[in-house]
Amino acid sequence: MKIGLLTSSRADYGIYFPLIKKIKSCPEIELEIIAFGTHLSENHGRTLQEILKDGVFVNHQIEHCISLDDSPKGISEAMARTISSFAEFWQDHSYDLVFALGDRYEMFAAVTAGLSFQVKFAHLYGGETTLGAIDNCFRHSISHMSTIHFVSCANYKNRLAELIGADESIYNVGSLSVDNINKMNFLSIKELKEQFEIDFSIPTVLCTLHSETTNFEQTQAHVVTLCSALTQIEGKQFLITMPNSDTSNEIIRTVFKEFADNHKNVFLRENLGRKGYLSAMKYAEFIIGNSSSGFVEAAALAKWVINIGIRQKGRVLTPNIVGCTFDQNKIVESIKEIENKGIENLNSHFYGDGDAASKILTTILTLDLTQA
């Protein structure tokens, strides 16, 4: 069996990792890694190096799928180039099954190009909803173009069945992110300091902010509001990871850089890598922003999350998540609400028990892909 795996960013690769290891260990499967998107972008840390550092061979690198222009026109042109590049790729390469994860515009474009070639896609993770991001449309579209579906919880299985009008090809396997956490050999506080020059023995808040791409005109106001709120918090340092390649991401980058230049307790990092990011989350007092990692990974690590705005609106809210608007006072109030407060009644197994990779492998080995 020949399987392809599409990876376009640090985010999806980090989630994929336990599945890649599991499939690589199976002699019945020939796995090919197809890297594109920000993996190949110097401006976004060229995270292809992270894949190679893990000892994972990348079979194919598809260039020219990212634009340095983060305007709506630039994003649309990047999608067009990605479709064109993958039209050439699918013309020359065939697979029994191809994994596509998530909801990024690059992933949508790669899958769209494969549709006319009748490529069979397995989609992770459909059924989720993020009403504050155009990714919501991309995710649902990828689901409609896919043959097999792996979801992270029962709620999303039911929603996806409503979306595509059938449930026979939907498998609730849990999240691969939980696999990652359960098997992670976390960096120590000392190792984090050595690698990233951040001392987690000092109370640290982990922050990631992306633009609300359905409301990108407000990006400047949103990031300035968040920075203003953080200046009101005493006795903590802030580790900010840079945003992905969404519309108006350069505005966020510019404001954060200026913020860090003027505050000694603020640290900016382009990319911490899978182990570095999860280790930082483990030792952080709480997480703030609007990253999807505040939902699955933070729940598994039993960390408080302040989720700001509507980017993630529609996702399941576990008890560790406190939502608020982009209002300086509301953000400060939310921080004060969770400080020194334990998390009670948190079901850390909501997204599975950490065996998603095994369940996915078992499923694809038992399926007759000629009939799927």
CA nearest 14: which of 206, 178, 245? Answer: 178
* Beta-sheet strand order (sheet of 121-124): 60-61, 30-35, 2-7, 97-101, 121-124, 148-151, 170-172
* Model pLDDT, residue 342: 73
Contact 289, 308 (CB under 8 A): yes
CA nearest 224: which of 251, 243, 264, 262? Answer: 251
In order, the DSSP letters of 33-80 are EEE-GGGG-GGGT-THHHHHHTT----EE--S---S--SHHHHHHHHH
* Model pLDDT, residue 345: 63
| Per-run averaged pLDDT (10 residues), the chain, 372 residues | 95 95 96 94 83 95 85 93 97 98 96 98 97 95 98 97 95 96 96 97 97 94 98 96 90 97 96 94 97 93 95 93 96 91 72 96 91 70
- Tell if the pTM clears 0.95, that is, is over it: no
CATH for the stretch 189-338 = 3.40.50.2000
Neighbour count for residue 27 (Cβ, 10 Å):
6
* Model pLDDT, residue 150: 98
Measure CA 201 to chain center: 27
DSSP state of 262: T
CA quadruple 198, 303, 179, 209: dihedral sign: negative
Assigned token pair, 264: 């000694």
Angle between helices 135-144 and 154-164 (to 10 degrees): 70
Within this chain, domains 2-174+354-366 and 189-338 share the same CATH topology: yes
* Model pLDDT, residue 40: 86
Domain boundaries, the chain: 2-174+354-366, 189-338
* Model pLDDT, residue 160: 98
* pLDDT (tens digit per residue) in 288-333: 999 999 999 999 999 999 999 999 999 999 989 999 999 999 999 9
Assigned token pair, 228: 């203003």
Q: With the CA atoms of 336, 340, 346 and 350 taken in that order, what torsion angle do they form, in degrees rounded to the nearest 10?
A: 70
Q: Class assignment of domain 2-174+354-366?
A: alpha beta
| H helices present in 122-244, as ranges | 135-144, 154-164, 176-183, 189-196, 219-230
**H or E element that contains 331:** helix 328-338
Angle between helices 273-283 and 176-183 (to 10 degrees): 80
